[in-house]
Chains A and B, each alone.
Chain A
Amino acid sequence: MDAIIARLPEFVQAIEAIREIVLANVVLLGQIPSPTFQEQHRTVAFLERLTQAQVDECTTDGYRNPVGIVRGTDSSRPPIFVVAHLDTPFGKEVDHDYTVGENDIIGPGVLDNSVGVGVLASLPLIFRHLDLRFAADIVLAGVIQSMGRGNLRGVRHLLKTWPTPIGGAVALEGFELGRLDHYSDGMLRAEIECRIRSEHTPGHGHDPRFRPNPILVLNEAINKILEIRLPQRPRSQVIVGRISGGLKHGVIPYSAQLGIEIQSTSHQMVKSISDQIQDLVTGLRYEHEVDTDLKIISNVKAARLPFHHPLVKAAGRIISALGIQPSLSHSESELSVFLSRHIPAVALGLTFGENLHQLDARMEIAPLSRGIAQVLGVLLALDGGICHG
């Protein structure tokens, strides 16, 4: 580890010298709209960038995740994965126009996760520029269908079908530098929908002024969710994150939707809370004479590397050596899929910024070289066998 730590300043300096390559990839790939389930254009462009960088093998897996493999020197070693999700929360109708200023890049999705994808696409050239060679194969995977309803399908499929054991992984997240995620809470994301029944719609004899109000029914659902007793251990919570419905102020709506997320360090607890919410949603259906559904849109099993795991400790040392305070936390992203398959993995943030999921998301340019240097350090640690003593 000491040898790796000693090389970090050299990494930072060398990356700084070719920073425009990384910034160009952030812009060229980030300006391609890539909403979940519609990542094709960004996938093609990402693969093109890997091909142009003369990566040894470039392909897509059976689920159309683009993958590049930088061949290592020892074919008997299990590969090390570096992943970044290709999808963004913005639709194709949004103009993905980035502005590159002296110190920052501004544009929709730049922090989540154009910078991650841009860095991933730049790694082959950075390896070459620094003359870094690895014993293990380095698998660079841009994964699709990660966010929201995507439910991490891309990375799940990639790992499920990968033919060999995997030695370790790093998930790249744009925001924020210092982030060192080493565990995933159990999580279940669901939408509750409430609709009035057909006999209450106009033309069925009922006075429309007195039909059930789906928004009020969902209000009742929220109240009942808040009444669920949540244990302090395992730590658990239910987040009511979205609500929508209605046409205009003076009309009782036909339908309404509620988005919730259950989080817990125990997957059993997630299941238990989910069952309770399912029951109360069913109960509301009869109490209020409406149709209700609870639709699960994604779920993640709780999994973790303990904070004293050698990979976590090594990553923490590397981040600290770069002058950044490591922030140990959790992530219910690609990381959770690796951990649930018992593959040692961490998620790392790459830079600082603000307005994460807004149209004017802003990433800072200057910290990025340290963010990339930490990734190189962690890859070298994994390649050096940090997880095997």
Chain B
Amino acid sequence: MDDTWLKQNTFHYKDFQDIENLVAVKAEKGLTISLCLPTLNEEKTIGKEIVILRSELMTRFPLIDEIVVVDSGSTDRTGEVARAFGAEFYRADDILPELGPRRGKGENLWKALYITRGDIIVYLDADIKNIHHRFAYGLIGPLVLKDGIRYAKAFYDRPIATGKNVVRPTGGGRVTELVIRPLFSIYFPELTQILQPLSGEYAAYRDILEQVPFPIGYGIETSLILDICQRWGMDVICQVDLEKRIHRNQDTRALGKMAFVVMQTFFRRLNRLGALSLGPPMHNQMIQYRLVGDAYLPELFNCDGLERPPMIDVPAYRNKFERRRPTAENGAEIVPGVDKDDLGD
């Protein structure tokens, strides 16, 4: 197993902790950077994230130019808290409403491309209990300093808060180890060098994010890796050790649903690449059972596997950012290869 990529493209956040230097190089290159936090009922953690990132990477060092929260319809005070600390808050449904409403993290990240201005976009989950500005500058660092890197992915230790104010020292990453790593090992062994492909923290240049489709739900992390690797190769990707990340624990049933979506996304990509013929259509329903009294009752979780097209395909986006689709050598526009069924409209 060739682990050249692992050795050359793996960094530690401390490699980039000279934030003053990052700001200087950013200015020299004329870059702008946006931070996007996708939310759904995150009132307990969103304030902390915005306060720390704003303090450290906007007020003290002008590394980030804007903090944008894209929300899936929170019923708690996520919006009020975000606004109280100066973040721009948007309901996902209010962005490009002509394309219709969808629900999911991937949807929020995709729509963030439309409302943010940055050349680089940093995505951080909004449920990080031990948020620290290293989560952002650690991902921005290689994009700004390392030529050729276009997509930076986080990995970390993952203690889980188990409630009652007690922290367990290990755990987490179950979907990674039980689902995506075995699948990568079978079909794309080189991708196993990406230690936590499902981590929710990553940053990338707009010019690659706008060219790939976005599954609207949990499949977004899987699809980004597969699509970016397919189109630009692994060398544009790096991973950064952000050390400890504490997040809320999810029960096995919730992880089961996540695993379902990840596998669905993976197999669709595999099918598109011609690496696997799926035969009959995949079912879009995850079925779990619950014992109620003496009866086993099914619980159904629907996931249509909808994907948004590459943002560059959306005329409103191209107009807003005065962008064109990438062109081939003969001058023809390249239309990214997304099945019509995946467009979601």
Is B302 among interface residues, defined by CB-CB distance under 8 A? no
> Pick the contact of A24 from B56, B86, B130, B166 — CB < 8 Å?
B56
Tell me if A99 and B166 are in contact (CB < 8 A).
no
> Pick the contact of B166 from A93, A101, A108 — CB < 8 Å?
A93
Tell me if B129 and A24 are in contact (CB < 8 A).
no
Q: Which residues of B contact A101 (CB under 8 A)?
A: 43, 47, 77, 81
Tell me if A100 and B55 are in contact (CB < 8 A).
no
Is A27 among interface residues, defined by CB-CB distance under 8 A? yes
Q: Which residues of A contact B59 (CB under 8 A)?
A: 18, 20-21
In residues 213-270 of chain A, which contact B (Cβ within 8 Å)?
none
Is B85 among interface residues, defined by CB-CB distance under 8 A? yes
Given A21-B55, A21-B60, A23-B55, A95–B47 Cβ distance below 8 Å?
no
Is B167 among interface residues, defined by CB-CB distance under 8 A? yes
Size bin of chain B's contact surface: 20 to 34
Task: Please measure, in the bound complex, the distance between the C-alpha atom of A301 and the C-alpha atom of B85, giving whole angstroms.
Answer: 45
Tell me if A95 and B52 are in contact (CB < 8 A).
no
Task: Please measure, in the bound complex, the distance between the C-alpha atom of A108 and the C-alpha atom of B80, giving whole angstroms.
Answer: 24
Is B51 among interface residues, defined by CB-CB distance under 8 A? yes
Chain B residue, CB-CB nearest to A359: B165
Chain A residue, CB-CB nearest to B86: A20
By CB atoms of chain A within 10 A, which of B77, B130, B246 has the most? B130
Tell me if B85 and A99 are in contact (CB < 8 A).
no
CB distance from A136 to the nearest CB of B (A): 26
Is B117 among interface residues, defined by CB-CB distance under 8 A? no
In residues 155-210 of chain B, which contact A (Cβ within 8 Å)?
161, 165-167
Task: Please measure, in the bound complex, the distance between the C-alpha atom of A101 and the C-alpha atom of B46, giving whole angstroms.
Answer: 9
Task: Tally chain A residues at the interface, Cβ within 8 Å.
Answer: 22
Chain A residue, CB-CB nearest to B163: A95
Task: Please measure, in the bound complex, the distance between the C-alpha atom of A94 and the C-alpha atom of B246, giving whole angstroms.
Answer: 14
CB distance from B214 to the nearest CB of A (A): 30
> Pick the contact of A98 from B48, B77, B84, B246 — CB < 8 Å?
B48
CB distance from B326 to the nearest CB of A (A): 39
Tell me if B165 and A100 are in contact (CB < 8 A).
no
Chain B residue, CB-CB nearest to A32: B130
Tell me if A31 and B165 are in contact (CB < 8 A).
no
> Do most interface residues of chain A lie in helix, strand or loop, or is the interface mixed?
loop
In residues 44-85 of chain B, which contact A (Cβ within 8 Å)?
44-45, 47-48, 51-52, 54-56, 59-60, 77, 80-81, 84-85
Given A95-B167, A359-B165, A102–B84 Cβ distance below 8 Å?
yes
Is A28 among interface residues, defined by CB-CB distance under 8 A? yes
Hey, what's the 0/1 contact readout for A83-116 against B, CB within 8 Å counting as 1?
0000000000111011111110000100000000
CB distance from A219 to the nearest CB of B (A): 33
Chain B residue, CB-CB nearest to A102: B84
Is A125 among interface residues, defined by CB-CB distance under 8 A? yes
Q: Which residues of B contact A95 (CB under 8 A)?
A: 161, 165-167
CB distance from A33 to the nearest CB of B (A): 10
Tell me if B130 and A31 are in contact (CB < 8 A).
yes
CB distance from B74 to the nearest CB of A (A): 14
Hey, what's the 0/1 contact readout for B109-142 against A, CB within 8 Å counting as 1?
0000000000000000000011010000000000
Task: Please measure, in the bound complex, the distance between the C-alpha atom of A21 and the C-alpha atom of B167, giving whole angstroms.
Answer: 27
Q: Which residues of A contact B48 (CB under 8 A)?
A: 27, 98-100
Task: Please measure, in the bound complex, the distance between the C-alpha atom of A102 and the C-alpha atom of B85, giving whole angstroms.
Answer: 8
By CB atoms of chain A within 10 A, which of B47, B130, B166 has the most? B47
Task: Please measure, in the bound complex, the distance between the C-alpha atom of A100 and the C-alpha atom of B51, giving whole angstroms.
Answer: 8
Q: Which residues of B contact A31 (CB under 8 A)?
A: 130
Tell me if B165 and A99 are in contact (CB < 8 A).
no
Q: Which residues of B contact A125 (CB under 8 A)?
A: 60
Q: Which residues of B contact A24 (CB under 8 A)?
A: 51-52, 54-56
Task: Please measure, in the bound complex, the distance between the C-alpha atom of A93 and the C-alpha atom of B159, giving whole angstroms.
Answer: 13
In residues 119-149 of chain A, which contact B (Cβ within 8 Å)?
125
Given A95-B166, A101-B47, A28–B80 Cβ distance below 8 Å?
no
Nearest 8 pairs of A and B residues by beta carbon: A100-B47, A24-B55, A95-B165, A102-B84, A20-B55, A100-B48, A24-B52, A23-B51
6 more A-B contacts (CB under 8 A) besides A93-B167, A102-B77? A25-B55, A27-B48, A98-B48, A101-B77, A102-B80, A102-B84
Q: Which chain A residues have a beta carbon within 8 Å of chain B's beta carbons?
A: 18, 20-21, 23-25, 27-28, 31, 93-95, 97-103, 108, 125, 359
- Could you list 6 A-B pairs, sorted by A, with CB under 8 Å? A20-B85, A21-B60, A100-B47, A100-B51, A101-B77, A102-B47
